[in-house]
Amino acid sequence: MNASLAWQYAIVAVLVAFSALSVLRKYLPSVWGRTLALIAGALESPRLPALLRRRGAALRARIPAKVGSACASSGGCSSCGACGSSADAKPAALPLAEPRPLRRH
């Protein structure tokens, strides 16, 4: 394997990782928020240098506010209405179809 092929693989790997993180942040906000909280907690350890502790505090500030506060305990965004987190909302009534007449032979 030559050096240019190794660079190509490295660039593709970085792009795929960036794309995966972008999709994770958009479609799984609770997982994204918990991941940020986990990383921030590890970086805010008192035994680490001040630079890393500041980076952990900056990551903690980027945790979405909606994470963990909506969609009951799942931590979703509650914008799609799929979780039914609103207790007073009534489901929409579906109209019934007209019954078909019985066919007698």
pLDDT at 97: 81
* pLDDT higher than 70, residue 8: yes
Burial class (CB in 10 A: 0-12, 13-18, 19+), 63: middle
| Tokens 């972008």 sit on residue | 22
* pLDDT higher than 60, residue 74: no
* pLDDT higher than 90, residue 10: yes
| Tokens 């997982």 sit on residue | 31
pLDDT at 24: 87
